[in-house]
Amino acid sequence: MVILDKETYFTGDKVEISALKFLSRIESVRKKHLDSPDPERTAFLIMDMQEFFFNKNSHAFIPSAIPIVNRIIKIRDRCMDLNIPVIYTRHINSEKDAGQMNRWWRDILTRENGMSRIIEEFDEPGNLIVEKSRYNAFFKTDLERILRDNNISQIIIAGVMTHLCCETTAREAFVRDFDVYFGIDFTATYNKAFHESSLINLSHGFAVPVMTSELMKMLE
């Protein structure tokens, strides 16, 4: 496989099996940090669930993203039951703020692009949405202020893409002294190599990768 090739490494009925294989690679590293999040100090960050990444007609379509939607919904609903803040990010660029994003990709996601919308499963009135212009959801946004104002010190990260926005935000959260729980089967990206590499690197020095099933039990 060429490293930039896309593949469906998560499928509807085999997400758990694939995710357990990822977990087996990192379990020895992450186990020393595997404590349950405290609902009173935790927020759920759902990243970039936009048509740009979920529409099969988009060049940025992520084949493995669709199977993680129901898992994110399950976690979101549990968080809402526990009054855990749920925060969405939406990636939007303009020529003025794109910076290296424009040079690197030569195709920025603008507000006028219909595919910048959050997908209907998460497009609900009253959602707390942080708009960002870079991979890092803390960069020139109100995210940290929102978290600090709510006495949040732990973050659960879900969404797309595992190895770009999700990983970059997880690293930045760690630098800002937040505990980070990172989705093994509730983040997704273009292929297995990108996904697994992020989980390996994050588990060693930045975040605790977790399965949906584990997290649901932790939040009981």
Q: Is the pLDDT of residue 4 over 80?
A: no
pLDDT of 1: 60
User: For 39-47, what is the mean pLDDT?
Assistant: 98
The pLDDT tens digits of the residues spanning 127-174 come to: 999 999 999 999 999 999 999 999 999 999 999 999 999 999 999 999
Q: Is the pLDDT of residue 91 over 70?
A: yes
What span, in angstroms and rounded, lies between the C-alpha atoms of 46 and 67? Answer: 15
The pLDDT tens digits of the residues spanning 171-184 come to: 999 999 999 999 99
pTM above threshold 0.75: yes
| Contact (CB, 8 A) for 71 and 185 | yes
pLDDT of 12: 84
Region 15-29+38-218: CATH code: 3.40.50.850
What span, in angstroms and rounded, lies between the C-alpha atoms of 5 and 25? Answer: 22
The pLDDT confidence band at residue 31, using thresholds 50, 70 and 90, is: confident
DSSP 60-81: T--TTTGGGHHHHHHHHHHHHH
What span, in angstroms and rounded, lies between the C-alpha atoms of 33 and 183? Answer: 15
pLDDT of 2: 63
pLDDT of 143: 98
pLDDT of 49: 98
What span, in angstroms and rounded, lies between the C-alpha atoms of 90 and 133? Answer: 9
pLDDT of 32: 85
The pLDDT tens digits of the residues spanning 70-86 come to: 999 999 999 999 999 99
The pLDDT confidence band at residue 107, using thresholds 50, 70 and 90, is: confident
pLDDT of 146: 98
